[in-house]
Amino acid sequence: MRTGRRDFLRGASLTAAAILASGAGWTQNSQAAPASPDYSIEIAETDWELAPGKKIRTAAYNGQIPGKLLRLVEGRPVSIEIVNHLDRAEIVHWHGQWIPPDVDGSMEEGSPMISPGGHTRIAFTPRPSGLHWYHTHAMGHRELKYGLFTGQSGMMYVEPRANPGAYDDEQFLVLHDWEPYYSASDDGSLMVQYVSGSINGRLLGHNDPIRVREGQRVLFHILNASATDPHWVAFAGHKFQVIALDGRPVATPATVETLRLGPAERISAVVTMNAPGVWVLGEPRARFRQAGMGTVIEYAGQSGKPQNPQPASLAWDYRAFADAVPAVRKPDLTIPLVFTSRFQGHGAVDRWMINGKSFPDGAPILLHEGLRHRLIFDNRSLDDHPIHLHRHAFELVSIRGAALSGVMKDVVVVETGTRVEADLVASNPGDTLFHCHQQDHMDSGFMALFRYA
């Protein structure tokens, strides 16, 4: 999915109208709905061709996978109409946006579901800027046919008011896994695996190559939209200078050879094209590479079979992008969040718990507006978890006991048996969902509601 910086959001000129209400007929309306929306999202089943002769049937936005890139402007209101052509209720979550709970797209927070055949129009003011995304927040269910197992996801790029623009081209890449099935896992419970994986909806070799020129600086915006799997990304012969994580600029734009993205994580990284040839950018691990998760990068004037050597190692550490000297800030409150699971059988997925309770059994966790809350993610389970907080961002302050600062996230992968601490300054009142972004985990109770006191 290539867009030039000249491609601006289509409805920018409509923003004045965006605050005018039509009201009648719309089920959801944090801000007044305009006469005509800036964007329209139609949810429907589609036959999607991952590769010639390989079609899947899945739900998608506007019949395309991924959904169209929404380019918004920070602080400029936008209205979006959503039409649900499916025979089941749906909901669209605006991941990474600090917006009111009635439009955030989580029924647990109070956003209404869109009934089968129904429609809604929402309006909100995008913030913060950076790379975010929109996706279904419906359950995946045991059949693995719904929720994020479908193609209901798309990128959303919120233009900052000021953009340094130190790059020549932009590329948006969405990773997704397809054709899920259950398999035995090392921890003794079922896990989800996939037959195929795509970048921007196509298997490796079946999407148009990304064409570059030597010396170009290309900014890659990468999203892992997988329902359950973390992914690595490598680009043989090249390195990534990571400038933002989850849409937030990092303190240290470090250069790395491989990227790791937990489900729902986003990375913005600049690559200097200094190794002419034809290469594969994508999952370096054999299983995923064979499944198709890659795309070809082709230098001008170069041809031949794409080269795709495996990196020597896979390494990722959030601390690489942190302040050189960690800032020390004292929290006002501490909130321990212990992640455990209850075994349900080797032929089932575990039941997941936060502080011993599966959602919705636990009481809401209280936040106090304006205060700094230290969230302690204590993963005592046998799985890694991509932990997501709606409507807010948090700053990582400790990983495995090592202090850091300057890395803001809304999803963090908490590895098995480890503790990650993050500071949350409560600044966006309203119910806020906190959950593991692995679809089968959140479906099995790995959620909690944060509520402002």
Partner 1 sequence: MRFFPFVLILLGAAALAHAQGNYEIQVYGADTVAPRSTMVELHSNFTADGQRRTIGGIAPTFHAEHETLEITQGINDWSELGFYVFTSEQSGQGVQWVGDHIRPRVRVPEKWRWPVGVSLSTEVGYQRALFSPDTWTWEIRPIVDKQTGRWYFAVNPALERTWHGPDIDKGIDFAPAVKISYDFTRKVTGGLEYYADYGSITSIASLHNQQQQFFPAIDINVSPDWEINFGVGVGPTAATDHWIVKGIIGRRFNWGGRNKNP
Residues 348-407 that bind partner 1 (CB under 8 A): 348
Q: Name the residue nearer to partner 1 (CB basis): 87 or 186.
A: 186
Q: How far is the CB of 182 from partner 1 (least distance, A)?
A: 9
Binding mask 302-331 for partner 1 (x = CB under 8 A): ------------x-----------------
User: Binding of partner 1 at residue 285 (CB under 8 A)?
Assistant: yes
Q: What six digits make up the tokens of 397?
A: 């302050």
CB within 8 A of 17, min separation 6: which ones?
Answer: 34, 35, 36
CB 298 within 8 A of CB 210: yes
Distance CA 26, CA 46 (A): 26
Q: Hey, which bits of 62-113 come out as E strands?
A: 67-73, 78-84, 92-95
Here the tokens at position 353 are 């718990």
Q: Which is nearer to partner 1, 172 or 178 (CB)?
A: 178
Determine if 188 is a binding residue for partner 1 (CB under 8 A): yes
> Binding to partner 1 by residue 53, rule CB under 8 A?
no
User: Does 46 help bind partner 1 (rule: CB under 8 A)?
Assistant: no
Phi-psi region of 72 (alpha: psi -120 to 50; beta: other; left: phi over 0): beta
Q: Please report how close the Cβ of residue 162 comes to partner 1 at its closest, in angstroms.
A: 39
Count residues binding partner 1 (CB under 8 A): 20
What is the spatial distance between Cα 436 and Cα 352, in angstroms, rounded to a whole number? 9
Q: Compute the least distance from the CB of residue 410 to partner 1, in Å.
A: 24
Binding segment for partner 1 among 78-86, 284-292, 321-329, 360-368 (CB under 8 A)?
Answer: 284-292
Instruction: By CB under 8 A, name the one of 20, 35, 184, 327 that touches partner 1.
Output: 184
Nearest residue (CB) to partner 1, 61 versus 146: 146
Interaction of residue 179 with partner 1, rule CB under 8 A: yes
Burial of 185-210, coded b for 16+ CB within 10 Å and e otherwise, reads beeebbbbbbebbbbbbbbbebbeeb
The one-letter code for the residue type at 386 is P
Look at residue 190 and give its three-state secondary structure. Answer: strand
When the beta carbons of 248 and 289 are compared against partner 1, the nearer one is 289
**Window of 181-189, 249-257, 370-378, 397-405 that interacts with partner 1 by CB under 8 A:** 181-189
* β-pair partners for 217: 272
Looking from the CA of 37 toward its CB, the CA atoms found within 13 Å total 19
Binding site for partner 1 (CB under 8 A): 179, 181, 183-184, 186-189, 193, 195, 285-287, 314, 343-348
